[in-house]
Structure formats: structure tokens, C-alpha cells
Amino acid sequence: MMNKDVIIACDFKSAEETFRFLDRFTTESGKPFLKIGMELYYAEGPAVVREIKRRGHRIFLDLKLHDIPNTVRKAMAVLSRLDVDMCNVHAAGTIEMMRAAVEGLTREDGMRPLLIAVTQLTSTSEERMQRELLIGAPINETIVKYACNAREAGLDGVVCSPLEAGMVHEACGAEFLTVTPGVRFADGEVADQVRVTTPARAREIGSDYIVVGRPITAAADPVAAYRRCVAEFLANE
């Protein structure tokens, strides 16, 4: 799997809507890498994952598991049978929970999808984190600590804002993946995310994968928007 790519967030409410969107991409030379989140997975279940895999797409299954270690281990063992390419947990679940996730996700042949951990959601500002979650450290320090915990637990990388990708690589190494939502075109709307940047700037800071939803899925021409995003993020690759 290439270690730099654009992932389209398929935040649709039904399989029908998702496939209608994907049918626009039949002329693309390569099938786009897709993120399936809670809304679509809870609406349609594992069947939609299997059908999207059958169509030849790589899948990031974004369910953000966060529970006691034993529950996460058992849930990951189920998800490992879906043949997805990437899935995730919340780093706040502790190193023990993340290790359990790795154990559950690893198949009998020793293979498993990439596993990454969410540090802080891109909708969370430092002020909210400190006032509402009572985390007193600066947000960048918290994100780097969560990333180091994920690396210690044996994970492959983290979800973070593009703005933190460089510092995560500095702390955890160049091979430790940064998967970054919070990406908008320079002329686009920020919506409900507060730690955002452009595809080109995300590349410069060090993002390995960018996750892009509404700027592509809500565009008048989603295929053109996807191509623009790929061109800006993968320039000179």
C-alpha cells in the first residue's frame, strides 16, 4: 500500500447514496481510497464494507473503538474478518487498550490491517480540551504524548490534524503514519472543524494520508474535486 494518498470520507447515510457517488469514479485509473464511518456502517453493517471491497477500493473503517481492553480485543477480531485496510481506536483508551486492539486485529497468519489511534478530534480546540476535558497540558503536547503511547502499544500511526503531523513524525519517527482530516481547499469552507489546512500545506507539514469529505462529496463535480485534491497533495510524488 502506498504511504501517501487522499482518502475520501464517504459520510453518506445509505449504501444507495454511497454507490451513486462511487459510480461517478468509473473512469478513474485507480479506485479511490475510501473512509467508511459510523453513519454508513451503522446504517448498512458489514455488507456495505464487503461490497465496496468487491468493487476494488481500499477501505479505512473509521469506528474509533474506545472501551475496556477485552471488549476492544473481541470487537477487533470481528472487524479483522472484513478485510479492510485500516481501522482505528481512541488513544485515550490507554496503552493497554491499544495493545488489546492489535491482538484482536491480528489474524492467525500474523497479518492485520493498519491500526491507527485518534489523538484529539479536529473539532476540539485547546480551550475546549482544557475547560471541558480538564486536560491541562497544551494540545500539541497532549497529541504528541498520545502518539507516543500509540507507538509504544505497537500501532502504525495516529489520526491528528495536519498541523500536528510534523511534530508527531519528529517524536515518533518518519515511518509512523499520520492520517489527517481537517483538510479544506484554500477557497473552501471550514465548517465545524477548527484545526484545518489545505492539501498542499498538509503535504509540506508531513501528512501521510489526508482524509477529505465535504470538499469532495459535496462538490458540484466530485471527480474534479478529487483530482484537484490528489494533484495538490501528491505534487512531485
Architecture of domain 5-233: Alpha-Beta Barrel (3.20)
Catalytic-role residue among 31, 53, 64, 145? 64
pLDDT tens digit sequence for 165-201 = 999 999 999 999 999 988 889 886 655 555 678 999 9
What is the distance between the alpha carbons of residues 170 and 148, in angstroms, rounded to a whole number? 11
What is the distance between the alpha carbons of residues 201 and 46, in angstroms, rounded to a whole number? 35
- Quickly state the pLDDT bin for 225 (edges 50, 70, 90): very high
pLDDT tens digit sequence for 76-124 = 999 999 999 999 999 999 999 999 999 999 999 999 999 999 999 878 8
pLDDT tens digit sequence for 27-84 = 766 799 999 999 999 999 999 999 999 999 999 999 999 999 999 999 999 999 999 9
- Residue ranges per structural domain of the chain: 5-233
Torsion from C-alpha of 25, 26, 32, 33, nearest 10 degrees: 110
For 194, the grid coordinates are 477548527
What number of other Cβ atoms are within 10 A of residue 2's Cβ? Answer: 11
Closest C-alpha to 33, from 63, 65, 64, 10: 10
Beta strands in the chain (DSSP E): 5-9, 33-36, 59-65, 86-90, 114-118, 157-159, 177-180, 209-212
Residue pair 152/125 in contact by the 8 Å Cβ criterion: no
- The secondary structure of residue 45, as a DSSP letter, is T
What residues contact residue 25 under an 8 Å CB cut-off, 6+ apart?
A: 31, 32, 223, 226
What pLDDT does residue 62 have?
98
Residue 180 dihedral angles phi and psi, to the nearest 5°: -125, 110
What pLDDT does residue 137 have?
95
What is the distance between the alpha carbons of residues 135 and 124, in angstroms, rounded to a whole number? 12
What is the distance between the alpha carbons of residues 7 and 62, in angstroms, rounded to a whole number? 12
What is the distance between the alpha carbons of residues 176 and 164, in angstroms, rounded to a whole number? 13
What pLDDT does residue 61 have?
98
> Is 64 among the residues known to form the active site?
yes
- For the purposes of burial, counting CB atoms within 10 Å of the CB of 174, is it exposed (0-12), middle (13-18) or buried (19 or more)? exposed
What is the distance between the alpha carbons of residues 157 and 127, in angstroms, rounded to a whole number? 25
